[in-house]
Amino acid sequence: MTEPLVASLERRAQSDHWVYHDGELRRYGDTHVGLLTHALHYGTGCFEGIRAYWSAQQGRLNVFRMPDHFERMRGNARMLHMELPHPVDELCALTVEILRRNAFTSDVYVRPLVYKANEEIGIRFHDLRDGFMIVTVPFGAYVDTTAGIRCQVSSWRRIEDNVAPARSKSTGIYVNSALAKTEACLNGFDEAIVLTHDGNVSEGSAENIFLLRRGCLITPPVTENIVEGITRSTLITLARDELGIEVVEREIGRSELYVADEVILCGTGAEVSPVIEIDNRAVGDRTPGRVTRQLQELYFGVCRGQDARYASWLTPVV
Ligand code: PMP
The model's pTM is 0.95
Q: How far apart are CA 141 and CA 148, in angstroms?
A: 12
pLDDT tens across the length of the chain (318 residues) = 445 555 555 555 899 999 999 999 999 999 999 999 999 999 999 999 999 999 999 999 999 999 999 999 999 999 999 999 999 999 999 999 999 999 999 999 999 999 999 999 999 999 999 999 999 999 988 778 899 999 999 999 999 999 999 999 999 999 999 999 999 999 999 999 999 999 999 999 999 999 999 999 999 999 999 999 999 999 999 999 999 999 999 999 999 999 999 999 999 999 999 999 999 999 999 999 999 999 999 999 999 999 999 999 999 999
Work out which ligand 1 atom sits closest to the CA atom of 169. 5
Work out which ligand 1 atom sits closest to the CA atom of 230. 15
Backbone angles phi, psi at 100, to 5 degrees: -65, -45
| Catalytic hit among 38, 169, 181, 304 | 169
**Which protein residue has the closest C-alpha to ligand 1 atom 13?**
229
For ligand 1, the distance from its centroid to the CA atom of residue 206, given in whole angstroms, is 5
Phi-psi bin for 248: left (phi > 0), alpha (psi -120 to 50), beta? beta
To the nearest 10°, the Cα dihedral for 298, 142, 135, 159? 100
Work out which ligand 1 atom sits closest to the CA atom of 231. 14
Q: Which of 142, 158, 268 has most ligand 1 atoms within 8 Å of CB, for mutation?
A: 268
Q: Say how many residues make up the chain.
A: 318
For ligand 1, the distance from its centroid to the CA atom of residue 264, given in whole angstroms, is 13
Residue 2 has a pLDDT of 46
Q: Which long-range CB contacts under 8 A does 140-144 form with residues at least 24 apart?
A: 140/106, 140/107, 141/271, 142/206, 142/267, 142/269, 142/270, 142/271, 143/190, 143/191, 143/265, 143/269, 143/270, 143/273, 144/190, 144/273
Does the active-site annotation cover 169?
Answer: yes
Work out which ligand 1 atom sits closest to the CA atom of 208. 10
Residue 1 has a pLDDT of 40
Ligand 1 residue neighbourhood (C-beta within 6 Å)? 49, 177, 203, 206-208, 227, 229-232, 267-268
For ligand 1, the distance from its centroid to the CA atom of residue 118, given in whole angstroms, is 28
β-bridge mates for residue 241, sequence order = none
Residue 144 has a pLDDT of 80
Residue 8 has a pLDDT of 56
For ligand 1, the distance from its centroid to the CA atom of residue 222, given in whole angstroms, is 12
CA angle 300, 303, 307 (to 5 degrees): 85
| Distances 231 to 114, 239, 296, 309 between C-alpha atoms, Å | 22, 12, 11, 17
Q: How far apart are CA 13 and CA 15, in angstroms?
A: 6
